[in-house]
Amino acid sequence: MDETQQDFKARCYCGDVRWRVARQAEVVFSGYCHCDDCRRSHATSLYQYVYVDAKDFHVERGQEQIRAFTTVKDGSFKRHFCQRCGTRVYNTLQVPHNGHQMELRGIFPSLMESIQDAKDPRWTPRKHTCAKESILDLNTIHDGLPRELT
């Protein structure tokens, strides 16, 4: 079997944009974000993010439909979306790592084709970020994950 056939596959709401992540991809960081920017951009009360090395991520279809938006002046972080259906399809992020810039992709398990893939244990959120900005009552969430209040 072709190696890429086993990759995690995902798509936007309309299906024009499709991407895949290598089966062996390692998660750099993951969690739920409650910040004002993420809530507005995703129109949700919290969202689940997973960051992987850009080399493990590939847009398979619909590159021409992808647009990006950011409020980060140096462009080191961008939110990419399908211009046809509006789905947030992935983020790009550059972080300093061992003296050079590491290129990451933020992916969303909610876009994966299969529920099994979306629930793969490697995507398990490790923390709540920007918990202070949450619009949810975090006392009702008993997942044992650390909450970053900054």
Q: Which residues bind Zn ion (CB under 5 A)?
A: 12, 14, 16, 33, 35, 38, 82, 84-85
User: Which CB atom, from 54 or from 85, has the smaller least distance to Zn ion?
Assistant: 85
Closest approach, Cβ 20 to Zn ion, in A, equals 16
DSSP 42-105: HTSS-EEEEEEEGGGEEEEE-GGGEEEE---TT-SEEEEEETTT--EEEEEEEEEETTEEEEEE
Of 8 and 128, nearer to Zn ion (C-beta) is 128
Least Cβ distance, residue 87 to Zn ion (angstroms): 5
CA angle 48, 100, 109 (to 5 degrees): 15
* Residue 35 vs 138, nearer CB to Zn ion: 35
Q: Shortest Cβ distance from residue 64 to Zn ion (Å)?
A: 12
